[in-house]
Amino acid sequence: MSHQSDLIAEDIHAYLAQHESKELLRFLTCGSVDDGKSTLIGRLLHDSKMIYEDQLEAVKADTSKHGTTGGKLDLALLVDGLQAEREQGITIDVAYRYYSTTKRKYIIADTPGHEQYTRNMATGASTCDLAVILIDARHGVMTQTRRHSYIASLLGIKHVVVAINKMDLKDYSQDVFENIKAEYLQFANNLGMDDLYFVPMSALDGDNVVNASEHMAWYKGPTMMEVLESVVLEGDRNFEDFRFPVQYVNRPNLDFRGFCGTVASGVVKVGDEVRALPSGKVSTVKEIVVYGEQPEQAFAGQAVTLTLADEIDVSRGDTLVHTSLDANTVQSNRVRAHMVWMAEEALKPGKEYLFKFASRVTPGKMVGIEHRIDVNTQQHTAAEQLELNDIGLIDVQLEQSVLVDSYGINRAMGAFIVIDRLSNITVGAGMVSELLQADVTAASTSEFSELELDLNSLVRKHFPHWQAIDLRSLTKK
């Protein structure tokens, strides 16, 4: 293994602690059909010595049966595990692989290139920090290259590596590389990709993947592995705005009541005054518990348990924030969001769905489609519905107010999924672009029912013959 250390033999606990403290990078490979995404991941694992001997022997045996590389070792078979994928030589579903080097730990998402599996690509990209977009040197920038680049940009991926693959089939030509680079830059000019790398390579032969290529001496930049090990991630997370969506209330005994979850953004310290939303109740952080330890602070990305000094009502779906936050600026029952539609049945405004924001689920519906986005031209067109794999800007009306941030500011609190109420299938993924003014007529049925009961009881107490009051009819007027 490439990250072997003498510590393994001398002090296994010290080695594990060292390994645990490594920074984690999540990245995906995407691009058009047959650009070499799975082969690239296989080559990364192979040349980093992350493949066990029995895995390598299995790939050698499968190459003769399913291989598409003309007798060479087909490393794509390491990640293309489905029978249908091996028979067709394509990627259908997202495949995840894990490995590490001396500098970092990695989670790789190998995503499909076919247009009909665009939703799978969006799913894999939703948690990634970096995208590797492959381009076949023979074909240049394709439709799916543009589509996947746009989705990566929409999902807030700040670091992009454009891997111009199969350079061996174009005689390692520098002109081919420069022309494709110029074509891609022209398209990506308005996508907001600030940290962009271009690497010429041959994933099949290993040129510029882990080791520098002898065939492309004209290329002086880093290899793919060098980019992955050196890309700076510190500025990607929001450490300013504290958000803690409660996932679970832990009550193992009478003396402990902790609120479990992952810090979505910001930093929280013992002694901080926090507010629980939507109730608005205020308390102070008493303890932070992590793996039996009690650190003085926790930050974005950490899974922790918080205990509070006061016995206030906090449940799954609530969010803890600092009291300095003006809650009115981050809560609403109306949002505008970009939507990637993932269902065979088209999105039609007016149909009711379930919307899941962090740990909070509320009914609601899409009330309007502002426009549909052509990912090839980035043009906006009018639309009455969104079909499978379409992307559009929509307005959402919820039955309950939710706490959200703009996706560009806070990915964890600005993302949501749409769930079909009958099948419980995820049918869409959304990224909030802005909060709209709350609509009082959309308050939840339970809220109205309680208000009606209280108000009508009070009226009948003093005026027995008074007609019952319908709050919905009043708000509509």
Q: Identify the DSSP state of 234.
A: G
Q: Tell me: do 43 and 92 sit in the same domain.
A: yes
Q: Across the strands, what pairs with 29?
A: 110, 132
pLDDT digits (tens, 9 = 90+) for 408-438: 889 999 999 999 999 999 999 999 999 998 8
What is the rounded distance in angstroms from the CA atom of residue 304 to the CA atom of residue 288?
A: 7
Give yes or no for residue 18 having a pLDDT over 80: no
Q: What is the CATH number of the domain that holds 173?
A: 3.40.50.300
What is the rounded distance in angstroms from the CA atom of residue 30 to the CA atom of residue 27?
A: 10
What phi and psi values does residue 273 have, to the nearest 5 degrees?
-85, 125
Give yes or no for residue 85 having a pLDDT over 50: no
Structure tokens, 298: 């926790």
What phi and psi values does residue 430 have, to the nearest 5 degrees?
-125, 155
Instruction: Name the residue with higher pLDDT: 140 or 234.
Output: 140
Q: Which pLDDT band holds residue 477 (cuts at 50, 70, 90)? A: very low
Give yes or no for residue 87 having a pLDDT over 70: no
Number of CB atoms found within 10 A of residue 336's CB: 16
How distant is the alpha carbon of residue 446 from its chain centre? 32
What phi and psi values does residue 245 have, to the nearest 5 degrees?
-70, 125
The answer to whether residue 56 sits within a structural domain is: yes
Q: Tell me: do 252 and 144 sit in the same domain.
A: no
The answer to whether residue 1 sits within a structural domain is: no
Q: Tell me: do 260 and 371 sit in the same domain.
A: no
What is the rounded distance in angstroms from the CA atom of residue 68 to the CA atom of residue 371?
A: 42
Q: Tell me: do 335 and 415 sit in the same domain.
A: yes
pLDDT at residue 2, as a whole number: 44
Structure tokens, 468: 């019952």
pLDDT at residue 122, as a whole number: 85
The answer to whether residue 92 sits within a structural domain is: yes
What is the rounded distance in angstroms from the CA atom of residue 258 to the CA atom of residue 271?
A: 15
Mean pLDDT score, 355-376? 92
Q: Tell me: do 41 and 170 sit in the same domain.
A: yes
| Last residue in a domain, options 325, 356, 391 | 325
pLDDT at residue 84, as a whole number: 44
* Phi-psi category of residue 185: left, alpha or beta, with phi > 0 → left and psi -120 to 50 → alpha: alpha
Q: Tell me: do 457 and 398 sit in the same domain.
A: no
The answer to whether residue 211 sits within a structural domain is: yes
Q: Tell me: do 85 and 196 sit in the same domain.
A: yes
Mean pLDDT score, 32-37? 78
Give yes or no for residue 357 having a pLDDT over 90: yes
What is the rounded distance in angstroms from the CA atom of residue 19 to the CA atom of residue 350?
A: 50
- What residues make up the domain containing 319? 243-325
The answer to whether residue 2 sits within a structural domain is: no
| Last residue in a domain, options 325, 343, 375 | 325
Q: What is the CATH number of the domain that holds 292?
A: 2.40.30.10
Instruction: Name the residue with higher pLDDT: 48 or 160.
Output: 160
Least confident of 55-64, 174-183, 254-263, 347-356: 55-64
Structure tokens, 257: 């009541």
| Last residue in a domain, options 325, 350, 385 | 325
Q: Tell me: do 222 and 247 sit in the same domain.
A: no
Residue 361 burial (10 A CB sphere; 0-12, 13-18, 19+) = middle
pLDDT at residue 233, as a whole number: 86
Mean pLDDT of the chain: 83
Give yes or no for residue 473 having a pLDDT over 90: no
Give yes or no for residue 265 having a pLDDT over 90: yes
Given a contact cutoff of 8 angstroms between Cβ atoms, the answer to whether 121 and 148 are in contact is: yes
Instruction: Name the residue with higher pLDDT: 113 or 129.
Output: 129
Q: Tell me: do 281 and 148 sit in the same domain.
A: no
Instruction: Name the residue with higher pLDDT: 72 or 143.
Output: 143
Q: Which pLDDT band holds residue 190 (cuts at 50, 70, 90)? A: confident
Mean pLDDT score, 314-327? 93
* Long-range contacts at 465-473 (CB < 8 A, ≥ 24 apart): 472/441, 472/448
Q: Tell me: do 193 and 277 sit in the same domain.
A: no
Give the E-state strand segments of 191-241 in sequence order.
195-200
How many domains in the chain?
A: 4
Give yes or no for residue 69 having a pLDDT over 60: no
Mean pLDDT score, 7-33? 76
Q: Tell me: do 423 and 449 sit in the same domain.
A: no
Give yes or no for residue 448 having a pLDDT over 60: no
Q: Tell me: do 88 and 199 sit in the same domain.
A: yes
Q: Name the CA radius of gyration of the chain, rounded.
A: 26
Mean pLDDT score, 322-338? 92
Q: In 3-state terms, what secondary structure has residue 293?
A: strand
pLDDT at residue 439, as a whole number: 75
pLDDT at residue 451, as a whole number: 47
pLDDT at residue 453, as a whole number: 44
What phi and psi values does residue 211 have, to the nearest 5 degrees?
-110, 145
Mean pLDDT score, 3-26? 70
